[in-house]
Amino acid sequence: MTAALAILALATAPPALPSPVRTVSISSQESRSNRAVPSCERGCLSPVEAVTYASYLGDKAGVAGVFDMPVVEIGQQAGLFYLNSEKDYRDRNCLTVALTPTAMQALAGTTNLEQARERLRNHRVIVRGVARQVRIVFSHDGRPTEKYYYQVHVRVTEPGQVRLVA
């Protein structure tokens, strides 16, 4: 009777939802040889896919993967450089790549914001990392308010995590 109930439960159970996180598994030899050069050979996530999956996960986790992103706008704040997939970084479909100065120097050959804009804007980057939802709190007169919104960031700390393409 228990086996019959188990079969009935399986037959009436709703279909499993697909996992919102894509994983790319590569052999250890491929990992070593391709570690410094992210590639879309096995498939990349678009900015909209990365933002959708990261938003679905919320602050519980991030989406590990390789991302193919157009560089539409570039900014700098608090010691980091930001590459944005949308003109308005607050757009809910915007994927933001946050780079350390070392990573920006390796990618653009400069840490000068205007020169980096000239070299990177309207190009694409391939980025390996974790897309995470980041809470951005509005401030008024230098004090945080109760208002906030979310961005999705991929943090790049190593030059080998990002590559400029066409």
Q: What is the pTM of this model?
A: 0.75
- What are the structural domain ranges in the chain? 38-165
Q: What is the pLDDT of residues 9-31, one digit of tens each?
A: 333 444 444 444 433 333 334 44
Contact, 82 vs 125, CB < 8 A?
Answer: no
Can you name the CATH fold of 38-165?
A: OB fold (Dihydrolipoamide Acetyltransferase, E2P) (2.40.50)
Look at residue 96 in the predicted model and tell me its pLDDT: 98
Strands 80-84 and 95-99: antiparallel
Q: What is the pLDDT of residues 43-89, one digit of tens each?
A: 899 999 999 999 999 988 999 999 999 999 999 999 999 999 999 99
**Tokens standing for 139?**
């401030």
How many helices, marked H, and strands, marked E, lie in the chain? 5, 7
- Of 80, 49, 32, 55, nearest to 132 (Cα)? 55
Q: DSSP assignment, residue 160?
A: G
